[in-house]
Structure 1
Amino acid sequence: MRWLALCSTPDAPAGDIDALAWLALSFTPRVARLEEAVVAEMSASLRLFRGARALRLRLRAEAELAGLALGTMAWAPTALAALALARCPGTPQPDRLCEKLDALPLQALTAAHAHHAMLARLGCQRLGELRRLPRAAIARRFGPALLTALDQAYGGLPEVHDWLTLPDRFDARLELPWRVEHAPVLLHFAEQLLRQLCAFLTARHAGVRTLRLAWQHDAMRARDVANSGELTLATADTTRDLCRLTRLLGEHLSRTTLAAPAGEISLSADTILPLQELSAGLLPGAGEPQERTTTNALLERLSARLDPDHVLEGRLHEDHRLDRMQSWHPWPADACAPVRRPPGPQPTWLIEPPQPLRCDAREQPTYCGPLSRISGPHRIEAGWWERHGLQTRDYYVYRSAARGLLWVYRERLPDAAAASSGWFLHGTFA
């Protein structure tokens, strides 16, 4: 067997060790909690990840992406030996397991902690010196637990572990160390829950599109204040990017006001969606998915900062009238059924209401100077089924030396022609 022990850094939050266990489950199904560390049996995964060194580097990289403070790691044939070696990273380690463990101090084995003072008076400072003492005398004076731990560490007795499994849904809570009165301060504590979420999603090979952050108000609140509040986050695509989720949550919390001080927060993700893993490539266009994800992250922050109604997305619709074939909705808009492509070029921006244009001597439209025709006419005669919706127009694309491409139409109704030149500017192209 090849056991790998994972320890967090001393200053890591308490919840990070659970997140490390979930992260290890993405490498092997045989993961267990052992005292302050996580142990994982990696024999079946070494070939898949191209050896112990490559697996260790991959695990450290995944922990860094999830924002976890991964400390020391150590390999050994037994779980207790791996934990003991991880606790003493600076100790010189020979090739054989017995020699490695013999050189470790007594603090490397938890079962020896309670008897450290007595063992020190006996002259035992290292595990090798303890192992050379008479076994019967050790059992009588210190109990059988110390010998059992020694034998399990050295491989003389089998170890028994409770294997960890992933829950079906993510729901984590955190009690705050003090009463928080301002919503942006909650981000500091919510980051711990987000790290656990990203590790959970990595083990699931999945992502999320919706998160819910809830907080419990302090008991000393006003009578007219509810006992809790919540905030829902939505992303444009499926993701488990810790930095992206943290920035998005920070934007929402900066616009949130707590009705009363909060004493506890919780983060939940009810819907877990599969996340397609993209392979790296050297061919042109390999960075397009990453560019799209970066654009979505920027739009999410703008939508949270400016208000959803100020970040719009254009959508096409089925209609014979060209100006009715597109509309703008808050981003991200709901998915819609495929529609036919417009018969002609559609402008980036519509001008509502259309702006009347003057004509020159040849009865051609002018706008900041003469215009040159690019395409047209495209004749429209539709909308008779709506009141005041009939359109009889000829659409053109003109080029202006000062304003670029313009979307222009000529009204063919006699009353409109009598009131004006009949030419109107209806849109511009970016």
Structure 2
Amino acid sequence: MIGIWAALLPIKSPESCTAIDLPALAVWALQFAPRVAIVEDAVLIEIGASARLFGGLEHLRVQIEKEAKELGVESIAWAPTGTAALALARSRVPDGFAAPLPAILDKLPLETVTAVAHHHGTLHRLGARTLGDVRKLPRGGLSRRFDKALLLGLDQAYGMRPEVYEWALLPETFSARLEFLFRVETAPALMFGARRLLLQMSGWLAARHMGVTAITLRWAHDAMRAKTAGTGGEITVRTAEPTQSVEHLGRLLTEHLAKVELLAPAGDIELLALEAVPIVQESKSLLPETTRQGEATSLVLERIQARLGKDRVVRPLLLQDHRPEWMQRWQCADEPRPRSAPGFHETPLPTWVLPEPLRLAERDNRPYYQGALQLLLGPDRVEGGWWHRVGDGEHAEQGNVQRDYWVALSRHAGLLWIFQRRLASDETGWFLHGHFA
């Protein structure tokens, strides 16, 4: 079938730690097109129908070649047919569109097309050294002296007969393993192989239109280890939002691994996508949009959290509670944010709330704080908390309150938030509870 085919030929040397197996390479390639096949020692991709989705053929070609080299692909070739692309990749000829296809293929040796390579000895004795030499031989004689596969392979390479492939299928879950050919002594050095696994996972996520919110990196200790070291270890990294970004996940893994100490040298690693959820694609505007500079705030916070610790990066959370002391709490930045609580106060809320209300002096039943206070807004009654116990054990107290809040003006201190207690069991009087900016 005439189209736009790419043939990816991985590194064959078993001594290379960057070699990738064909099934893993096929899973990665499925993000670019649904027509991906494992053929002999290579992976074939037909991208003709997908080029527009990636910004054009040239943009897609650059992206495939860049990521494929990181995954350990040593030869990439492009051609109108899959068999031709595979032959060009074996010959290290990258472009099958630079000239008419027959002119390019005729110069290739017999070994580049498997169906022809099977009869290399006989064809060589007939004087054929290239694919062009074989095509010059009488087709009738070739069909009688050789099997049907020879002419079929030649015709498919030159686009004269359709090609039939068994397309690769996308797995439901993702897990990938990489074995090192050397012992890794430190945890940060694991990122050398973890990045390649992240690239594979990114391809799987893109093909499934999903993003991860949790990944796990596992490592197995080398066989020559102390018994106390155990078999290995693992770390789990979580994100606040689903992501496919290799760079972001790589930075988070780097920050976490910097705090890990290997109990023994590691021999291999495994990456798993623990939680994957669908990503809702945003509609693009027809009008030009201003390019946003820098990273999203959520990505920056995740990286800082990975560096400083989960409990060091927090954000305020508004709760559905009338009482100012319990209206807000702090939660970890990566925890899901619940729906915003509705407002309960009719008067404005202060910028700063005191940890403990401050008892105010009174003169003629009027509150004083650096002078007489003028009541501007109020009262705003807050009542509730009978269900709440403050403290532990014998010292626990009931959190029930009944207060009338006012916005008051002080000539020296500015706007203040004060209240007056109404419960008979409480100490009556006026209290300062907050300041306005």
Deviation at 1:154, TM superposition (A): 2.4
Structure 1 match to 2:205:
201
What SS is found at the alignment partner of 1:224? helix
Residues 1:294 and 1:355: Cα distance change in structure 2 (over 3 Å)? farther
Structure 2 match to 1:4:
5
Q: Does 2:418 match 1:409?
A: yes
Summarize deviations over 1:37-64 as a string: whole Å, max 9, x none.
Answer: 4323456x26xx5499924523544776
Structure 1 match to 2:86:
83
Deviation at 1:81, TM superposition (A): 1.2
Aligned residue identity for 1:424:
L
Residues 1:417 and 1:257: Cα distance change in structure 2 (over 3 Å)? same
User: Which stretches in structure 1 are left out of the alignment for 5+ residues?
Assistant: none
Deviation at 1:168, TM superposition (A): 0.6
Residues 1:52 and 1:229: Cα distance change in structure 2 (over 3 Å)? closer
What SS is found at the alignment partner of 2:18? coil
Structure 1 match to 2:319:
317
Which of residues 268, 272, 279 is equivalent to 2:276? Answer: 272
Aligned residue identity for 1:226:
G
Deviation at 1:79, TM superposition (A): 1.2
What SS is found at the alignment partner of 1:211? strand
Q: TM-score, normalised by structure 2?
A: 0.76
CA distance in structure 2 between the aligned counterparts of 1:158 and 1:215, rounded to whole angstroms: 45
Aligned residue identity for 1:80:
T
CA distance in structure 2 between the aligned counterparts of 1:62 and 1:376, rounded to whole angstroms: 66
Alignment of 1:278-289 (within 5 A): 278-281=282-285
Given that 2:405 and 2:420 are in contact with CA atoms closer than 8 Å, whether structure 1 keeps it comes out as no
Q: CA RMSD in A?
A: 4.5
Q: Which moved more, 1:110-119 or 1:326-335?
A: 110-119
Residues 1:94 and 1:393: Cα distance change in structure 2 (over 3 Å)? same
Given that 1:218 and 1:260 are in contact with CA atoms closer than 8 Å, whether structure 2 keeps it comes out as yes
Residues 1:12 and 1:213: Cα distance change in structure 2 (over 3 Å)? closer
Summarize deviations over 1:272-315 as a string: whole Å, max 9, x none.
Answer: 21112224337698878x98x72111111121111111211222
Structure 1 match to 2:35:
30
Aligned residue identity for 1:299:
L
Deviation at 1:221, TM superposition (A): 2.5
User: For this pair of structures, how many residues does the alignment match?
Assistant: 416
CA distance in structure 1 between the aligned counterparts of 2:55 and 2:339, rounded to whole angstroms: 49
Deviation at 1:224, TM superposition (A): 2.8
Deviation at 1:242, TM superposition (A): 0.8
Given that 2:211 and 2:277 are in contact with CA atoms closer than 8 Å, whether structure 1 keeps it comes out as yes
Structure 2 match to 1:98:
102
Given that 2:360 and 2:367 are in contact with CA atoms closer than 8 Å, whether structure 1 keeps it comes out as no
Summarize deviations over 1:117-161 as a string: whole Å, max 9, x none.
Answer: 997897755421332245688799998765553333124555442
Aligned residue identity for 1:194:
L
Deviation at 1:230, TM superposition (A): 1.0
Structure 1 match to 2:329:
327
Which of residues 178, 190, 194 is equivalent to 2:194? Answer: 190
Given that 1:206 and 1:272 are in contact with CA atoms closer than 8 Å, whether structure 2 keeps it comes out as yes
Structure 2 match to 1:210:
214
CA distance in structure 1 between the aligned counterparts of 2:350 and 2:22, rounded to whole angstroms: 55
Identity %: 40
Aligned residue identity for 2:401:
Q
Aligned residue identity for 2:210:
A
User: Which stretches in structure 2 are left out of the alignment for 5+ residues?
Assistant: 389-396
Given that 1:106 and 1:112 are in contact with CA atoms closer than 8 Å, whether structure 2 keeps it comes out as yes
Q: Which moved more, 1:298-307 or 1:237-246?
A: 298-307
Alignment of 1:394-405 (within 5 A): 394-396=404-406
Given that 1:318 and 1:340 are in contact with CA atoms closer than 8 Å, whether structure 2 keeps it comes out as yes
Given that 1:176 and 1:264 are in contact with CA atoms closer than 8 Å, whether structure 2 keeps it comes out as yes
Given that 1:91 and 1:104 are in contact with CA atoms closer than 8 Å, whether structure 2 keeps it comes out as no
CA distance in structure 2 between the aligned counterparts of 1:398 and 1:270, rounded to whole angstroms: 54
Structure 2 match to 1:391:
401
Deviation at 1:108, TM superposition (A): 4.4
